[in-house]
Amino acid sequence: MTRSRLYLFDTTLRDGAQTTGVDFSLPDKRAIAHLLDDLGIDYIEGGYPGANPLDTEFFSADNGLRARFTAFGMTKRAGRSAANDPGVAGLLDARADAVCFVAKSWDHQVRLALGIGLDDNLESIRDSVAAAAARGREVLLDCEHFFDGYKANPAYALACARAAFEAGARWVVLCDTNGGTLPHEVERIVGEVAQAIPGDNLGIHAHNDTEQAVANSLAALRAGVRQIQGTLNGLGERCGNANLTSLIPTLLLKPAYADRFEIGVTTEKLQTLTRVSRQLDELLNRTPDHHAPYVGSSAFATKAGIHASAVVKDPATYEHVPPESVGNRRKLLVSDQAGRSNILAELERLGVGVDRDDPRLGRLLGALKDKEAQGYAYEGADASFFLLAKRILGTVPEFFFVERFSVNVERRWNARGELASYSEAIVKVKVGEEDLISAAEGNGPVNALDTALRKDLGKYQSYIEDLKLVDYKVRIFQGGTDAVTRVLIEFQDAAGERWTTVGVSANIIDASFQALTDSITYKLLKAGADSMSVLPGPTARSARL
Amino acid sequence: MTRSRLYLFDTTLRDGAQTTGVDFSLPDKRAIAHLLDDLGIDYIEGGYPGANPLDTEFFSADNGLRARFTAFGMTKRAGRSAANDPGVAGLLDARADAVCFVAKSWDHQVRLALGIGLDDNLESIRDSVAAAAARGREVLLDCEHFFDGYKANPAYALACARAAFEAGARWVVLCDTNGGTLPHEVERIVGEVAQAIPGDNLGIHAHNDTEQAVANSLAALRAGVRQIQGTLNGLGERCGNANLTSLIPTLLLKPAYADRFEIGVTTEKLQTLTRVSRQLDELLNRTPDHHAPYVGSSAFATKAGIHASAVVKDPATYEHVPPESVGNRRKLLVSDQAGRSNILAELERLGVGVDRDDPRLGRLLGALKDKEAQGYAYEGADASFFLLAKRILGTVPEFFFVERFSVNVERRWNARGELASYSEAIVKVKVGEEDLISAAEGNGPVNALDTALRKDLGKYQSYIEDLKLVDYKVRIFQGGTDAVTRVLIEFQDAAGERWTTVGVSANIIDASFQALTDSITYKLLKAGADSMSVLPGPTARSARL
């Protein structure tokens, strides 16, 4: 069966730039364009050259992309020709393979927001599209507010779409600008439009305001469009655009689509999707959405013990697609709901070999339950779980030993008559036979303690020089300042490896200290640092640290 | 036109408990049940009595809910009768209005995971449903893996559904357990099932693994079901369950649904939805999703200048529904006008009288912007907002003045050879002409500081004797131990009044201190304590505290 070609158009760099809290630098834009290009996206919309210096610069050089690099901008103003419109000129001078014009297609909007006649708007569309086509560009027209416009005045909305198509636009893109259109409405309206303009020339641009941007895009596809616009991780104004990170796997892995459509992303490239999604978050310094479909760290996580044992028997039981197909992985949560199967699978994943019948497994399970009852949670703290398991298996060396620490925070008037806070920490550590004492200041008590602790670890110092504390989370249980505090700390090393550790105590400083020392121990263990002694088991360890 | 009744079934407390990182305490469960009840949800699934002590206790008392309180659990095991199955007995002994059994409806699963015959499974369904109905419970059956099962063996999946219906189940719920079913498949399959079982007795339970749980729920509704299951904020295993927080506004505000269906949530209660969504996040100490449809802080945010001016001309231009309808608000590039109305409304709610044209209102707006830029958030901290406003209006007395404080945490070996932590604080306060210095120990640094601060406030001591710190929350921004820390502290007095204050600093102790002093000042102000002086305005205050 011949499959139709479906084109993916990414607007992360244009509509995604409207996301609250997102500001792209030029290096960001270049890096993201290459991520998209490598993934196999057909069109990459880079921005609005002429509207701001950054976008103008981005479009001034050849970016070396395989994808069609697309410039976005408005159609010409009424009352002048496209040739005499500086905005259009800026677009046509940009180094782009394609130009995507935006034009209103809702009569009410044309009158209200533009304040021009309905025919003037049609004329602007025709003239702008023709001018760009004459310059050899592939032309797209985004019909803004298409669905709301079609509901209000179908003839006029259709006239806008037809004007673009007849003037030579390769694509007429139907935009649900306000994001309020429902899938069954999209399906009906696209079906009607496809009677006038071939589906091969139609695109969909959906927003997520009713949490249905993905469903709207697929509804439009079923009704005939052959281009889908969206963004990585669903970035975009308000609630975001259609999420390509969810759409791509569905298009490739679900037979209902994979059997009918061919896209530029291969199943091999699909295996990089999770990494691409995380890299984007990394670039933008956003916390990844753990629950994101396909690529979230919890997308293939199983917490309930009964489910976990079934997943081990047959993954298809609770997985709609194999996690590896999108470069993600299965995660059986080690929680108090979990059983032996979860733990064995988790140990295997972490490379800790242990036999199903090993009596130490029962001890580990018991220790885990005790810890979780105290407030520890290992589902987000792989490195601490790894250490706990290794300690019970008796294979964690004691690299260093903290004799004592002291942290002080003082708030008082300084010499300039200002009220100021001072945080300082002193840590005394034994490394082998060597006693080391370090002091440090910090912005707060945990920062001071962390700095002092990592200031001098003697012969191990070289292993921890490249560590960077990248995340610090606190959760309080049972209310009140005397409640139990759980701290999660994430470190990263120069190689880019990240790991998370957990500490629990009524005292936030103690909890932080536990997570900090676990993190350093984990790094030393992974780096194969030479140790002074191997502790026999968990008892000795917990009595001392 | 007569509208059909559509029932909403919430499983936040059951399936939502499978969310990675979510652990409900009993008070959490009670609080959430009341949030849901007040909103107008028809069924509240509370958990699995008998499976763990917390759920058993939750179901041991009358929770005073209007909604049908529902116990979840498995059908009886094969080889024994429902009457002799301890699991079923636990369910039937629970104080619940309804019982929701779960049973597999995919032949492959019955054989693989349960290891029993297909007929045994049908018998378990029949017997369990009948036993619960005989005990006067309203009965629901969750058909696990229904859609995957139906694709593999439609006759068997349907036989499971029919067995439950014929044995007296009020509802047969079709579950897309793995979340991989697509909307057009849901619509077709539900349509076929509705030929065998009336839609009035069918429910849908969707998961978000392709980002289409909301669309799947609506597709099922269109195909005939009259019950939708979901969770607040889309909590749930892996990628979550169908998000009721998105579904409810769509059902009430979109004519395609509002004209056809009636639900238990009124348009008045809909205006509390944003607050309910935030309260849940607050309870679970989760960062709200700013981009959540309808209720996210950015759901009605407009970043682009051109859009913003159009929104001012006519909000419908870029808003698919009015933000007020869901208790949310428009967010422009904080135009003075929009901000002023918001703040006036908020002040009125707190009983702070101020004229619309009062120049101090502009100062308050400015102060608020500064504070929010620093990381303060007043949505969850009414008492701090109240104080900020009163300070700018010049009506907050300075009851006490903290000269300095010092907090120390030390971890060292004690006389018994155990490693122990010691936290102590010293606070020096001026009350009138009196200098007071207090020291205290605590479980941790904040507890020590709180205890020392409230140990002796001289003539005000009687006002604060009854205070109890009931909640303490910490949120860290921008990653790392040197990041900005926001602390929220909730106090309660003997009369049961509760109030929350906020503090922000790079230093967690400082942030806590701000929130603690705000809280005491709030109490003294509300109690009408006699003060020594009234500060003129915010400048003097902020220079000292």
List beta partners, residue A43.
A9, A68
Tokens at A137, concatenated: 């560009």
Contact between A444 and B507 using a beta-carbon 8 Å cutoff = yes
Residue with more model confidence, A480 or A277? A277
Q: Please say if the pLDDT value at position B522 is more than 70.
A: yes
Sequence-separated (6 or more) residues with CB below 8 Å from residue B79: B120
CB nearest to A180's CB, from B178, B321, B402:
B321
Report CA dihedral (A161, A166, A167, A170) to the nearest 10 degrees.
70
* Alpha helices for A112-182 (secondary structure H): 118-134, 146-152, 154-166
Greatest Cα pair distance in chain B: 86
Residues of A in contact with B299 (CB under 8 A): 209, 238-239
> What is the model's pLDDT at position A539?
35
Interface check for A401 against chain B (CB to CB < 8 A): the answer is no
Contact B529, B460 (CB under 8 A): yes
Q: What is the 3-state secondary structure (H, E, C) of A434-459?
A: EEEEEEEEECCHHHHHHHHHCCCCHH
Q: What's the pLDDT tens digit per position in A36-45?
A: 999 999 999 9
Neighbours of B47 (CB within 10 A): 24
Interface check for A430 against chain B (CB to CB < 8 A): the answer is no
> What is the model's pLDDT at position A307?
60
Q: Would you say the ipTM is above 0.85? A: no
Residue with more model confidence, B265 or B470? B265
* Banded pLDDT at A376 (limits 50, 70, 90): confident
Residues of B in contact with A249 (CB under 8 A): 210
Residue B454 corresponds to which amino acid? Answer: R
The share of chain A scoring above pLDDT 90, in percent, equals 64
Question: How near does any CA of chain B get to the CA of A250, in Å?
Answer: 7
Q: Please say if the pLDDT value at position B94 is more than 80.
A: yes
Tell me the average pLDDT across B406-435.
91
Question: How near does any CA of chain B get to the CA of A319, in Å?
Answer: 6
Residue with more model confidence, B10 or B443? B10
Sequence-separated (6 or more) residues with CB below 8 Å from residue B453: B402, B405, B425, B427, B429, B438, B513, B516, B517, B520
Cα–Cα nearest to B203, from B143, B262, B256 = B143
Residues of A in contact with B405 (CB under 8 A): 410-412
Tokens at B437, concatenated: 């210095």
Question: How near does any CA of chain B get to the CA of A138, in Å?
Answer: 26
Report CA dihedral (B34, B37, B41, B47) to the nearest 10 degrees.
50
* Alpha helices for B146-243 (secondary structure H): 146-152, 154-166, 183-193, 213-223
Contact between B243 and A413 using a beta-carbon 8 Å cutoff = no
Report helix, strand or coil for B450: helix
> Which of A20, A74, A451 to mutate: most B Cβ within 10 Å?
A20
Task: Please provide residue A147's backbone torsions phi and psi, each rounded to the nearest 5 degrees.
Answer: -70, -40
Q: Please say if the pLDDT value at position A114 is more than 90.
A: no
Q: What's the pLDDT tens digit per position in A426-485?
A: 999 999 889 999 999 998 999 999 999 999 999 999 999 999 888 888 877 654 455 788
CB nearest to B215's CB, from A212, A292, A443:
A212
Q: What's the pLDDT tens digit per position in B240-297?
A: 999 999 999 999 999 999 999 999 999 999 999 999 998 898 788 777 898 999 999 8
User: Cα(A374)–Cα(A223) distance, rounded to whole angstroms?
Assistant: 55
> What is the model's pLDDT at position A335?
52
> What is the model's pLDDT at position B334?
37
Q: How far is CA B368 from each of CA A78, A398, B295, B373, B501, rounded to the nearest angstrom? A: 43, 51, 22, 8, 15
Interface check for A445 against chain B (CB to CB < 8 A): the answer is yes
User: Cα(B510)–Cα(B404) distance, rounded to whole angstroms?
Assistant: 12
The share of chain B scoring above pLDDT 90, in percent, equals 64
Burial of B412: CB neighbours in 10 Å, binned 0-12, 13-18, 19+: middle
Tell me the average pLDDT across A11-30.
88
Rounded to 10 deg, the angle between the B244-253 and B213-223 helix axes is: 50
Cα–Cα nearest to B234, from A211, A233, A230 = A211
Cα torsion A58, A59, A61, A67: sign? positive
Rounded to 10 deg, the angle between the A382-392 and A359-374 helix axes is: 140
Which contiguous run of DSSP H or E holds residue B107?
helix B107-109
Contact between A407 and B410 using a beta-carbon 8 Å cutoff = yes
Tell me the average pLDDT across A40-56.
93
Residues of B in contact with A258 (CB under 8 A): none
> What is the model's pLDDT at position A479?
47
Average pLDDT, chain A: 89
User: Cα(A251)–Cα(A267) distance, rounded to whole angstroms?
Assistant: 10
Interface check for B28 against chain A (CB to CB < 8 A): the answer is no
* Banded pLDDT at B543 (limits 50, 70, 90): very low
Q: How far is CA B24 from each of CA B13, B17, B72, B278, B284, rounded to the nearest angstrom? A: 8, 7, 16, 16, 8
Contact A205, A237 (CB under 8 A): no
Poorest-pLDDT segment among A511-515, A525-529, B393-397: B393-397
Q: What's the pLDDT tens digit per position in A343-372?
A: 787 788 888 888 888 888 888 888 887 887
Contact between B474 and A476 using a beta-carbon 8 Å cutoff = yes
Q: What's the pLDDT tens digit per position in A215-251?
A: 999 999 999 999 999 999 999 999 999 999 999 999 9
Cα–Cα nearest to B347, from B335, B369, B365, B329 = B365
Contact A463, A485 (CB under 8 A): no
Q: Give one word for A163, left, alpha or beta, with left for phi > 0 and alpha for psi -120 to 50.
A: alpha
> What is the model's pLDDT at position A544?
32
> What is the model's pLDDT at position A375?
78
CA angle A100, A102, A103 (to 5 degrees): 140
Tokens at B74, concatenated: 């498995």
Interface check for A444 against chain B (CB to CB < 8 A): the answer is yes
Contact between A481 and B419 using a beta-carbon 8 Å cutoff = no
Helices (H) and strands (E) counted in chain A, each on its own, are: 21, 18
Interface check for B420 against chain A (CB to CB < 8 A): the answer is no
The answer for A 204-243 residues in CB contact with B (under 8 A) is 208-212, 214-215, 218-219, 222, 234, 237-240, 243
> Which of A210, A328, A369, A542 to mutate: most B Cβ within 10 Å?
A210
Interface check for B510 against chain A (CB to CB < 8 A): the answer is yes
Residue with more model confidence, B479 or A522? A522
Q: Please say if the pLDDT value at position A64 is more than 50.
A: yes
Contact B483, B506 (CB under 8 A): yes
The overall pTM is greater than 0.80: no
The share of chain B scoring above pLDDT 70, in percent, equals 91
Q: What's the pLDDT tens digit per position in B322-363?
A: 999 999 987 653 333 445 666 777 787 778 888 888 888 888
List beta partners, residue B271.
none
* Banded pLDDT at A121 (limits 50, 70, 90): very high
Residue A12 corresponds to which amino acid? Answer: T
Best mean pLDDT range from A345-354, B468-477, B500-509:
B500-509
Residue B189 corresponds to which amino acid? Answer: I
Report helix, strand or coil for A170: coil
Tokens at B301, concatenated: 């945010």
User: Cα(B526)–Cα(B532) distance, rounded to whole angstroms?
Assistant: 16
> What is the model's pLDDT at position B310?
64
User: Cα(B126)–Cα(A168) distance, rounded to whole angstroms?
Assistant: 64
CATH architecture observed for domain A4-265: Alpha-Beta Barrel (3.20)
Q: Please say if the pLDDT value at position B413 is more than 60.
A: yes
> What is the model's pLDDT at position B422?
93
Report CA dihedral (B35, B384, B469, B58) to the nearest 10 degrees.
10
Cα–Cα nearest to B199, from B165, B233, B232 = B165
> What is the model's pLDDT at position A537?
36
Residue with more model confidence, A207 or A19? A207
Q: What's the pLDDT tens digit per position in B360-382?
A: 888 888 888 788 777 787 766 88
Q: Structural domain boundaries of chain A?
A: 4-265, 301-386
Interface check for A105 against chain B (CB to CB < 8 A): the answer is no
Contact between A183 and B219 using a beta-carbon 8 Å cutoff = yes
Contact between A298 and B490 using a beta-carbon 8 Å cutoff = no
DSSP for B216-252? Answer: HHHHHHHHT--EEEEBGGG--STT-B-BHHHHHHHHH
